[in-house]
Amino acid sequence: MHVDSGRVSLRKPEKNGRRHEPGTLCFKHFVSRGLLASTVWVPRQWLAMLLDQFSSFCVLLNLMASPDTLIVNITAVLSVLCFVTYLNDLHMNLTWTAVSFSLVFPLQTAIREAFKRREAALMALAEFRATSTNVFLANQLWDWPGADGWYGRFEDNVPKDQGGKGIKKGAFKDTPLNKRHADRVLEIMLRLMDAMQEFLLVPRRGRGRQEFCVCFSPEKEQVEAAEMKGRNAVLKLLARLHKAVEDLKAAGMPANEASRINQYNMFLSRNFEKLWSFKTYRTPTTLRAVCRVNIQLMPFFFGPYYVHLARNTDGEIIRGRLIFACIFSCLLSTTLVALLNVAILLENPFRPGMDTLRIQEEFYLCREALITVAGEAEVDWHQKVEFEWEIIDNHQGCTSSEESA
């Protein structure tokens, strides 16, 4: 077999081991990882450590910036002062086992289960995106035998000697495929992406206030109504994709090929129902309710321990030890609030956030993928492929050569 060396390049792999990557004092780029990776400038290790530490503090402050933090800190300070002032004799070194069972373990379980749901939702979204691209490609490119040649898809009932693509025969003679079939399917797919994005960004249901505070807020009814509007829009567009397959069958596409496209449509419906389940169902609301209430009440039950911290060996309340007891109580309660906020943020994997799914970005990529593959319809599959970063690299190499000459 002959291989054109001008079209295929073999790159020798880099040897394992550490190497000095070029760059500046603060930043570097990984030349050893390839041309595309070398376009990214990353901070060197010492700067990355400082930036990561600063970012971690910012994330923690963001988690603590909630009304729960203010309330729990007031509760934490009041619990210490109340026990020191009114229950001065009640002091003991309590065990923290109760905190582990009543708070830490439920919070750990809630975060773990919420993260599992987030990963499963991400896989369903990835499958939906991949299937949608293949549904469009099938409607755009799949062809079948015609009356007197292969390209039955393009037969338009105009003789070839008159500038047409050929005349259909048999049962398909009156139903040539519309020239805008691929464009129509593309429009449906883009609208499907719009409907999915709008549906997934609807505020979530399953909150305790939606069950016990219905008389104060119409949130529950509005959320359910918005979800049903999004669901109906998606189902209507999925039904139209099946109608598009019927047009292909009417134009002569073999039944087995049409059945394969309908199977892709079924995959889209299945992934949508998965996303619907992740959107409308939650991990136990009671678990989060127990954690929220216990965090607020815990400082009062551990008041004797804070009095124990505030006393010296002679049994006297020392101002410095009292301040430390208040700070320790606030720190513990604030940390638990931060963990509870992590569980709440992960509870809805589709809400905008740092650790949730980037829905707007994901569906932008869906639309971009559809438009990209649509532009490849007129390109020969065997045409040489040049990557954008290789063109830039070659241009820079030629410029350097000219300057040195």
What's residue 361's pLDDT? 93
What's residue 113's pLDDT? 87
pTM as predicted: 0.81
Residue 42 phi/psi, 5-degree rounding, is -120, 150
What's residue 101's pLDDT? 77
Supply the DSSP string of 77-126, one letter for each residue. Answer: HHHHHHHHHH-TT------SHHHIIIIIHHHHHHHHHHHHHHHHHHHHHH
What's residue 287's pLDDT? 81
Residues 27, 30, 35, 40, CA torsion sign: negative
What's residue 165's pLDDT? 72
d(CA 349, CA 359): 9
What one-character DSSP code corresponds to residue 313? T
What's residue 40's pLDDT? 86
Sites in the chain below the pLDDT cut of 50: 398-405
d(CA 305, CA 230): 53
CA distances from 269 to 129, 135, 231, 351 (A): 12, 12, 11, 22
pLDDT digits (tens, 9 = 90+) for 331-343: 888 888 888 888 8
Smallest CA-to-CA distance from 44 within 61, 24, 74 is with 24
- With beta carbons less than 8 A apart as the criterion, state whether 69 and 334 touch: yes
Amino acid occupying residue 393 = D
CA distances from 305 to 80, 89, 320, 330 (A): 9, 12, 16, 14
pLDDT digits (tens, 9 = 90+) for 183-227: 999 999 999 999 999 999 998 877 767 676 767 778 888 888 999
- With beta carbons less than 8 A apart as the criterion, state whether 329 and 76 touch: yes
What are the beta bridge partners of residue 95?
Answer: none
Amino acid occupying residue 1 = M
Residues 6+ apart with CB under 8 A from 402: none
d(CA 347, CA 291): 14
What's residue 402's pLDDT? 46
